[in-house]
Homo-oligomer: A and B are copies of this chain.
Amino acid sequence: MPVNLKQLAELLGLSQTTVSRALNGYPEVNAKTRQRVLKAVRETGYRPNRAAQRLATGKAYSIGLVMPIASGIGSDIHFGEFLAGLAEEAVKHDFHFVLNPSAPEDEEATFRRLAASGNVDALFLAHMRSNDPRIAILKSLSIPFVVHGRSIGGPKDYPFLDIDNTGAFYDATRLLIQLGHRRIALINGQEHLAFAIRRKKGVTRALKEWDLELDETLVHHSVMTDEYGYRSMQRFLKQPDPPTAVLCSSTALALGAVRAINQAGLTVGTDISIIAHDDVLPMLKPENFSVPLTTTRSSLRAAGARVASRLIGGILDRGAYPDQELWRAELIVRASTGPASAKKINSRKRV
C-alpha cells in the first residue's frame, strides 16, 4: 500500500499542486514548505507513480536500445558490459529500456517504429561505421539520441561520447617506438568499424613521425575474440620478418596473442612487447595476465553510465551536458612492454 500524492498532500495539509511543485523543484514554493514536504516523503516512503507521470507529462521515461543481432556484435562481451553501465545509471532514475533486437537491414524500420510509438524518449546508438547512415535517419526522425562512438566522414553535428581512439593508439605506438621497436603489428577490430579505423590511424601517425611506415601485412582486422587474437599473432610470427611489438584492440585479442607468443617459445615483454586497449572488463583484467599487460584504458561501463546520464538528463532537462565528449584513454605501462630485443625472433623458432 504505497502512499500517493493525494494522501501525502492531505497529510501535510497542502494541495497536491504544491506538493508536486515542491518535489519537482518549482520556485513558487516556500523553502520551509519544501522542507516539510521532503521530510514527509522520507517518512512515508512516497514514490511518484511512474505510469501517472507518463500519462500526465507525455514522457515515456524510457530509452530505446536497438540491439544488433548481426554476427558477433550482439553477443559480444563488450555489449554486455556497456549495457550494464547504461542500466546501472538508468535504474537510479527509474528509467526503462525498450530492447529492440534488429538485424542491420531492419534497423531503419526499427528506428522509425520506435520513434513513432512514443514508447521511448530517446535512443542510443553504437557500433559506428564510417559514413554511418543511421545518424541522418535519427536526425530526420527528430528524436533525441546519443551515439557511443563517432562516425567518420559526414556531418559532425550530433551528440556523441567517444574515446580518443586515434590518440590512444598514437600514444601506445609512440611508447613502443621510444622503446626501440620498429616492426609493430596491429590486431584490430572489424575493418568497417569507426574505432578500428581510428586506431589504425593513430598507429600510422605515430610511425610517420619517426619516418616509419605501417606494414599492411602486420595489420589484421577481425571480431575481437581471444581466438582471433591467437590466429593473428600466430600468422605474424610466421612471417620472415616478424614484429617485435604488437598492439591489440582489446584484452580478449591480447589473450589470444599472448598464448601464441608463449607457444612460440617467446616471452612477452622481453622478446616481444604487447599493448592492448582495455575496456575494463571484470572478467579480463590486464593486471592478471601472466605478464601484466600494458594498456590504454577506458572503462566501457563508465561510458555506458555516462551515455545514460546524458540521455536521461536530456529527457528531464536537468543540467546541461556537453553535446560531444571525447574521453582520453589512459596509457598504463605494465610489464608487457620492454625495449626491442636485439635477438632475431625467427632464429628462436628454429631451435
Interface residues of A (CB under 8 A from B): 2, 47, 49-52, 54-55, 60, 62, 67, 69, 71-72, 74-81, 83-84, 86-88, 90-91, 94, 96-101, 116-119, 223, 225-227, 230, 255-256, 259, 281-283
Contact B79 A80 (CB under 8 A): yes
State the copy count for this chain. Answer: 2
Residue on B with the closest CB to A55?
Answer: B51
A227: min CB distance to chain B, Å: 5
Do residues B67 and A87 form an inter-chain contact, with CB atoms below 8 A? yes
CA distance A91 to B96 in the complex (A): 13
- Of all chain B residues, the one with the shortest Cβ separation from A62 is B96
A308 → B minimal CB distance (Å): 11
Q: CB-nearest residue of chain B relative to A72? A: B283
Which partner residue on chain B sits nearest A79 by CB separation?
Answer: B80
Q: When the two chains form their complex, are residues A87 and B71 in contact, meaning their CB atoms are under 8 A apart?
A: no
A74 CA / B282 CA spacing, docked (Å): 10
Task: List, in ascending order, chain B residues with CB within 8 A of A101's CB.
Answer: 84, 87-88, 91
CA distance A256 to B231 in the complex (A): 12
Name A74's contact: one of B81, B96, B119 (CB within 8 Å): B81
State A225–B83 Cα separation when bound (angstroms): 20
Set of chain B residues within 8 Å of A55, measured between Cβ atoms? 49, 51-52, 54-55
Distance in angstroms between the alpha carbons of A83 and B76 in the assembled complex: 12
Q: What is the chain B residue whose CB lies nearest that of A74?
A: B80
- In the assembled complex, how far is the CB of residue A187 from the closest CB belonging to chain B, in whole angstroms? 16
- Tell which of A49, A55, A76 has the most Cβ of chain B within 10 Å: A55
Q: What's the minimum C-beta distance from A129 to chain B, rounded to whole angstroms?
A: 18
> Which residues from chain B contact A230 at a C-beta distance below 8 Å?
259
Kindly list chain B residues whose C-beta atoms are within 8 Å of the C-beta of A49: 55, 118
- A80-B91 in contact given A96-B96, A225-B226, A283-B223 (Cβ < 8 Å): no
